[in-house]
Amino acid sequence: MRKPVYVVGHKNPDCDSIVSAIAYAELKNKLGLKSQACRLGDCNSETKYLLKKFNFEQPELIYSAKCLLKEIEKDEAVLISVDYTMKQALDEVLKRKNKGVFVVDDNKRLLGIVSISDLTSLWTDKPEDLKKLMKTASLQNIKDTLKGDIYNKSENFKPSGEVFLLPSLSDNGSIYKDGIVIVGNNPDIQRYLIDSDAALIIICGEAWVDNVTLAKAKDKDVSIIHTSLTALECSQIIFQSPSVKEVMTKDVIVFKSTETVEEASNRMAKTRFRTYPVLNEKDQVINAISRFHLFNYEKKRFILVDHNEVTHSVNDLEFGEIIEIIDHHRFGGIETTRPINIIAKTVGATSTIIAQQYILNKVDLSKEMAGLLLGAIISDTLSLKSPTTTEDDIEMARRLSAISKISVDQLSKEMVKSSDSILNKTHIELLYDDFKEFRIDDYRVAIGQSQCKDSSEFFKIKDEFLKFLNEVVITQQYDLLLIMFTDPLGTGSHFLYTGKKSWVVYEGFQDVLVDSFATNIISRKKQVLPIIIETITK
């Protein structure tokens, strides 16, 4: 089953970014493409208010485009206990076409791994190695391997490990004491072996042992097993009777389901095994993985909404695949390996474009989705007062208002009330409320934006927050860091900035900047970033 396409907005997401991801993922699902909305950061208070009002859950938080082992195709793990014989283990391997099986305890925790070579190498082992191996075989395991029945069970079964095939009394040159001897249904041979103190007599063929022989075996404490297999068949498989614990590899490389494919590939390249166990958070074996899976996995696929630059997108984007971009910002040089669909328009909100796609594809908008999209448009256009607002935004807001049965003015007022005072936010929250980084020539520029309902609040936090920004500039090596504290009513923004390129802000906005307030400057995208780019590059 293919993974869903992940629809993601930008890092430090604003309302438009979150809503665009939710709405477009729903549209794609209705059009037949399995999709999932995701976010790259915490939702702000305004977004949380809208989601709660219109009954939507926050999208799943993701951190990287890299695939984890739990997200790719793997083999079923063949699990066996230490009680399994080598024969039973080999049957499991051959039946499921796996290259190995994992030996686990009662809690599915790994004890060792058994490969085909571990189970079949005994056919080329030296006699002394086979003897050592068979010395560990239990009577029950031998009985299970030969599919036989125990006629007499020794209370002290300790075989020497020697295995003999004795078809007649003429072959009597060997010493059978404590040995395992395969014979036919010949009472004379059976009694001879009992007198020789054999550890186990395996009788092949007809299921018959006379009472005298059986009584003699009980008296001498010699075990007897009967099997319907031929003597030749017994001699071929009896060496598979020992427990898998005798041949399993205990020092095993294991992988966690939360490891990335790249991490697993690097570790696997240094080892020789063909198959490896994958463990969950409880250290239980849940899957088997091989080099094939790591070389042939399906990358995560992404639809980027409300952004198009790598620095604004999910981490490690180069390990994923972009299949579509929907945005209303400038394009920042993103590269793809194949042609993709791009919808880019000069509108005030990406949510306007998303709503248009519902209409173009003749997909009905629910009352709740219409309200959510309306809120995002209001947020990104400052109640349709931002200079980025277009006729498309105004017309779409009107249509969404009609469907959701809530006016733009009413929802705007509710959203302003829902937003937190900047006095209640930490410095980190203020910095990353709506924060974007830009590479302009060789300079690192970052511009954040936060709503500020009262200028007095700005002046209360200004000095301490500027000290914090000075530290951020040093640690993050920004050439310019600017935070806009914007009046939600659209009158302008307070500027707080620092960095060795601070002169760019003063020079670019000297005509409108009075005592840190830039009158009518409320749009980072349309009013601030273009001037900074023009000033810093001239």
Structure-model confidence comparison of residues 149 and 123, the more confident one: 149
List, for residues 235-277, the tens digit of each pLDDT value: 989 999 999 999 998 988 999 999 999 999 999 988 878 889 9
- The H helix count followed by the E strand count for the chain is 19, 24
List, for residues 84-104, the tens digit of each pLDDT value: 999 999 888 888 766 678 999
pLDDT at residue 57 in the model: 98
Which range, of 31-35, 72-76, 348-352, averages the lowest pLDDT?
A: 72-76
CA–CA gap between residue 137 and residue 389 (Å, rounded):
82
DSSP 162: -
Domain with CATH 3.40.1390.20 in the chain: 137-241
Q: What is the mean pLDDT of the chain?
A: 92
Res 476 pLDDT > 80 = yes
DSSP 260: B
Res 129 pLDDT > 70 = yes
Which residues, 6+ apart, have CB-to-CB distance to 495 below 8 Å? 482, 483, 484, 485, 505, 509, 513, 516, 517, 518
Strands 443-451 and 480-486: parallel
Kindly state the average pLDDT of the residues 160-176.
75
List, for residues 32-70, the tens digit of each pLDDT value: 999 999 999 999 989 999 999 999 999 999 999 999 999
Cβ proximity of 306 and 9 under 8 Å: yes
pLDDT at residue 1 in the model: 66
DSSP 334: -
CA–CA gap between residue 45 and residue 18 (Å, rounded):
12
pLDDT at residue 434 in the model: 86
Which residues, 6+ apart, have CB-to-CB distance to 113 below 8 Å? 100, 101, 102, 103, 248, 249, 252, 273, 275, 276, 277
In three-state secondary structure terms, 92 is helix
CA–CA gap between residue 524 and residue 479 (Å, rounded):
18
pLDDT at residue 168 in the model: 60
Strands 513-514 and 492-498: unpaired
pTM reported for the whole predicted model: 0.76
**Total residue length of the chain:** 538
- Rounded to the nearest 5 degrees, what angle is found at the Cα of 479, between the Cα atoms of 474 and 484? 95
First to last CA, the chain: 53
List, for residues 483-507, the tens digit of each pLDDT value: 999 998 889 999 999 999 999 999 9
Domain with CATH 3.10.310.20 in the chain: 422-537
Burial class (CB in 10 A: 0-12, 13-18, 19+), 50: buried
List, for residues 284-341, the tens digit of each pLDDT value: 999 999 999 999 999 999 999 999 999 899 999 999 999 999 999 988 778 888 999 9
pLDDT at residue 33 in the model: 97
pLDDT at residue 482 in the model: 98
CA 414 centroid distance within chain: 38
List, for residues 510-523, the tens digit of each pLDDT value: 999 998 999 999 99
Domain with CATH 3.90.1640.10 in the chain: 5-67+300-418
> Which contacts of 530-534 are long-range, i.e. CB under 8 A and separated by 24 or more positions?
532/440, 532/445, 532/447, 532/480, 532/482, 532/504, 532/505, 532/508, 533/440, 534/508
pLDDT at residue 330 in the model: 87
Cross-strand pairs, 113: 102, 249
Say what the alpha-carbon torsion angle 353, 355, 356, 361 is, to the nearest 10 degrees.
Answer: 130
Which residues, 6+ apart, have CB-to-CB distance to 75 below 8 Å? 98, 275, 287, 288, 289, 290, 293
Confidence of residue 141 (pLDDT cuts 50, 70, 90): very high
Structure-model confidence comparison of residues 116 and 423, the more confident one: 423
Confidence of residue 454 (pLDDT cuts 50, 70, 90): confident
Confidence of residue 416 (pLDDT cuts 50, 70, 90): confident
Class for domain 5-67+300-418, per CATH? alpha beta
Confidence of residue 145 (pLDDT cuts 50, 70, 90): very high
Strands 285-289 and 301-305: unpaired
Q: Taking each helix axis from N to C terminus, what angle separates 350-360 and 15-30, rounded to the nearest 10 degrees?
A: 20
Strands 341-344 and 321-327: parallel
Give the C-alpha distances (Å, rounded to integers) separating 429 from 59, 295, 378, 422, 425. Answer: 19, 41, 22, 9, 6
Res 126 pLDDT > 80 = yes
Return the CATH architecture of domain 422-537.
Answer: Roll (3.10)
CA–CA gap between residue 502 and residue 400 (Å, rounded):
41
- What dotted CATH number matches 75-120+246-295? 3.10.580.10
pLDDT at residue 171 in the model: 57
Q: What is the residue type of 493?
A: S
pLDDT at residue 406 in the model: 97
Strands 79-80 and 341-344: unpaired
Kindly state the average pLDDT of the residues 126-155.
93
Please give the CATH superfamily to which domain 137-241 belongs. Answer: HprK N-terminal domain-like (3.40.1390.20)
